């Protein structure tokens, strides 16, 4: 789908231009939004004004040491940190971990592995937050279950694509309230979607069609000039 979620932002802090360039290239082609700086001071400034999701941080920096940068970053936020170091002493490794680096690569490293590490760190971040709630929306004839990823109308399962499902979920979760196209775009397509908002109309249309194939209650209303609204037919 291009991008359902915003591109994770990554800040690369590395003084050696050649390495910096490689890291940037690989990360960008892996779909990340990358910013580079070559010293610790700029890193801190930038991290404050525009917090990244993860920092790739060289340990050996001119001026402010990588360790200190890490410590400072951690003071003010909980960014994830991937440390880069020269082939190194045990002492460094331990100290690096104590300061809370989330992973660690020794130079020379394979760029692909570096990307893999970055992805793994971000992946974990997403996973751990999962305390279970009831992820189910229930209406008169419609039940939407996020965990099963299943929507059922009048006992019949709907065959929805991911995007269609998300559109339906977004609307149903705000049942009774109007959602503008922009709100739907943000909720479903993510805040960094630069496409045409007519895509919302197309998907609403598709969801409507599939809903009506199974049940004739029109559950998604068009609010002209504004957006769409889900209404539970039994209610109202």
Site residues (vs DNA, CB under 7 A): 1-2, 4, 90-92, 95, 112, 161-164, 189, 193-196, 198-199, 201-205, 208-209, 222-227
Q: Using the rule CB under 8 A, is 93 a contact of a second copy?
A: yes
Q: Using the rule CB under 8 A, is 127 a contact of a second copy?
A: yes
Judged by CB under 8 A, the residue of 77, 89, 123, 156 near a second copy is: 123
> Which of DNA, a second copy, none lies near 205, with the C-beta cut-off 5 to 8 A by kind?
DNA
Judged by CB under 8 A, the residue of 48, 192, 218, 234 near a second copy is: 192
In this structure, are strands 136-138 and 142-145 parallel, antiparallel, or unpaired? antiparallel
Q: Using the rule CB under 8 A, is 194 a contact of a second copy?
A: yes
Q: Using the rule CB under 8 A, is 161 a contact of a second copy?
A: yes
> Which of DNA, a second copy, none lies near 101, with the C-beta cut-off 5 to 8 A by kind?
a second copy
Judged by CB under 8 A, the residue of 134, 191, 198, 235 near a second copy is: 191
| Cβ distance to a second copy smaller for residue 42 or 99 | 99
Rounded-to-integer distance, Cα 222 and Cα 208, Å = 11
Stretch that binds a second copy, among 33-41, 45-53, 107-115, 207-215 (CB under 8 A): 107-115
Judged by CB under 8 A, the residue of 65, 77, 138, 195 near a second copy is: 195
* Chain centroid offset of residue 215 CA: 35
Q: Using the rule CB under 8 A, is 126 a contact of a second copy?
A: yes
Stretch that binds a second copy, among 32-40, 42-50, 124-132, 198-206 (CB under 8 A): 124-132
> Which of a second copy, DNA, none lies near 202, with the C-beta cut-off 5 to 8 A by kind?
DNA
Q: Cβ distance 56 to 13 under 8 Å?
A: yes
Q: Using the rule CB under 8 A, is 140 a contact of a second copy?
A: no
Rounded-to-integer distance, Cα 75 and Cα 57, Å = 16
Judged by CB under 8 A, the residue of 62, 75, 134, 224 near a second copy is: 224
* Angle (nearest 5°) at CA 203 between 202 and 208: 100
Rounded-to-integer distance, Cα 46 and Cα 58, Å = 16
- Within 8 A by CB and 6+ apart from 105, the residues are 82, 83, 84, 85, 113, 114, 117
């Amino acid at each position: 789908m291009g991008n359902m979620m915003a591109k994770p932002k990554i800040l690369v802090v590395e003084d050696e231009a050649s390495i910096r360039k490689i890291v940037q290239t690989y990360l960008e082609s892996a779909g990340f939004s990358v910013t580079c700086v070559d010293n610790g001071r700029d890193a801190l400034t930038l991290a404050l004004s525009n917090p990244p999701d993860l920092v790739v941080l060289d340990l050996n920096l001119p001026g402010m040491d990588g360790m200190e940068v890490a410590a400072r970053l951690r003071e003010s936020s909980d960014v994830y940190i991937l440390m880069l170091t020269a082939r190194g002493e045990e002492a460094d490794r331990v100290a690096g971990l104590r300061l809370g680096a989330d992973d660690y690569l020794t130079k020379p490293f394979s760029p692909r592995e570096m990307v893999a590490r970055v992805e793994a760190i971000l992946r974990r971040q997403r996973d751990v937050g999962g305390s279970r709630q009831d992820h189910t929306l229930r209406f008169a004839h419609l039940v939407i279950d996020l965990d099963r990823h299943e929507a059922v109308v009048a006992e019949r399962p709907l065959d929805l694509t991911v995007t269609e499902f998300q559109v339906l979920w977004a609307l149903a979760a705000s049942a009774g309230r109007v959602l503008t196209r922009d709100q739907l775009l943000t909720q479903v397509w993510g805040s960094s979607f630069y496409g045409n908002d007519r895509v919302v109309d197309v998907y609403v249309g598709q969801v409507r069609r599939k809903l009506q194939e199974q049940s004739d209650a029109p559950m998604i209303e068009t609010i002209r000039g504004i957006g769409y609204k889900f209404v539970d037919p039994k209610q109202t």
